[in-house]
Structure 1
Amino acid sequence: MVDIQAQLDSVSRELRESDLDGQPSYMQTVAQEYPSAIDDVWQAVTTPERIARWFLPVSGDLRLGGRYQLEGNAGGEILACAPPSADGASYRVTWEYGGGISWVAVRLTAVGEARTRLELEHTARSADVPPGMWETFGPGAAGVGWDQGLLGLALHLGAVAGAISRADAEAWQLSEEGRAFSRGAADGWAEAHVAAGADPEAAAAAADATFRFYTGQE
């Protein structure tokens, strides 16, 4: 059993429309605090052995200017990397998947000696989003996936009770508990969508479509 409601409530979600190199873009941000020191969280999100335990196996040259590849998922270039210091820690990568490119930035901030806030920002140019995708799914298409990633990290770092093995992850997603998590995450992104100015009915419809997609119904 996983305390999915505690996890859903622990994550903040934000959607903003911005410019990237002068082009209209969508910027989605998720954030959560973890009961671990910043050095430990940094290791969890930057070393292949740790990443594989809560997210996906990753290969490549994981250094500034190098390239990474997540198994069966995105790859890209490491554009910036700042290990933990008094100002926190961060890295930025390209997120290349399905012939498209977007950008992911991860920032860590120490909240005391044994607690760290992680903020993940995913930016995509509006013109690069496949036709009809945003209108159908809204921010939940990518957002629910990031919610799943933060759940994995929360379980890895002990921020939420429960456990899901990588071997059982796909089956869990389609279980009653997993479906409830996808529903809650999709609704959370609908709230962020409305807060960013979307019509509530359109945001709710997009959340429904996202939920169906993540639970194998669409």
Structure 2
Amino acid sequence: MAVTQSPSVVDAVRRALEIEDVGDHDADGRPLVRTTATLTTNVARSPAQLWPLLTDPARLATWFGPVTGDLREGGRFAAPGAHGAVRRVVPPHLLSLSWEQDGTVDPLLIRLDPEDDGTTSLRLRYTTLYDRARFDSVGPGLRALDWEIALLGLAAAADGWRTVCMTEVPTPTPAWLTGPEGREMLRAWSVRWAAEAVAAGVDEGTARRGERATTSAYLD
């Protein structure tokens, strides 16, 4: 079954969005808003099996891209398009990072909790600050889709969604993302993050504007 016919691939991830006006302004006097995107999924591997895919540079390179540096607690690393620091490590259950990208330093938390059936509940939480005008223009999806792509890559590398999706999970290579199935997936992710924005209190028109901006940024 093609990905475009399998919404279960898209909906293998559960999403939640929190939005908070922080009562502060950036250096240019623009009001700031804090957003926290939470992505949760079940992966048909134990935490111990998933842990090397998240912390071993050689394994990370197979699905996320080259990551260099010191991935121990207190170390610093460089990743595709970003760099950061390792704040806390609790193998094989918790990885807390600072994610430094486009001039921001944002907390990123990944939790791996074992389930009774031998699978793992994986939760990724990413918090960032926007100036309010930019958030109203681009919405939460512009950053959240990076993590959607990452989780799809992890699931493909671990073969962790096959029993959930009942179909082969694609590897999100650049060629796939620019092809028809990848473009359809990117649109579907944008729609879902717009829906989360509405659920978090953003008015429909603003959320849909952000949806269009996110889709355009990835597809154009």
Provide TM-score, normalisation by structure 2: 0.85
In structure 2, the residue matched to 1:78 is 86
- Cα root mean square deviation, aligned: 2.1
* Distance in structure 1 (CA, Å) of the matches to 2:9 and 2:170: 13
* 63 and 19 in structure 1: CA distance in 2 versus 1, 3 angstrom threshold: farther
Structure 2 counterparts to residues 1-218 of structure 1, below 5 A: 3=3, 5-18=7-20, 25-71=34-80, 73-84=81-92, 89-125=93-129, 129=130, 132-158=133-159, 159-160=161-162, 161-164=168-171, 169-215=173-219, 217=220
**C-alpha deviation, 1:74, in angstroms:** 0.9
Q: Which amino acid aligns with 1:5?
A: P
* Distance in structure 1 (CA, Å) of the matches to 2:193 and 2:113: 24
* Distance in structure 2 (CA, Å) of the matches to 1:131 and 1:197: 14
Matched length: 204
| Contact 1:37–1:113 (CA under 8 A) maintained in structure 2 | no
Q: Deviations over 1:177-213 (max 9, x none)?
A: 0110000000110111111011112111211110111
Runs of 4 or more above 6 Å deviation = none
**C-alpha deviation, 1:24, in angstroms:** 5.4
* Distance in structure 2 (CA, Å) of the matches to 1:203 and 1:117: 29
Ranges in structure 2 where 5+ consecutive residues have no aligned partner: 25-31, 163-167
Q: Deviations over 1:135-192 (max 9, x none)?
A: 2211101111111111101111111414437xxx212111110110000000110111
**C-alpha deviation, 1:19, in angstroms:** 8.2
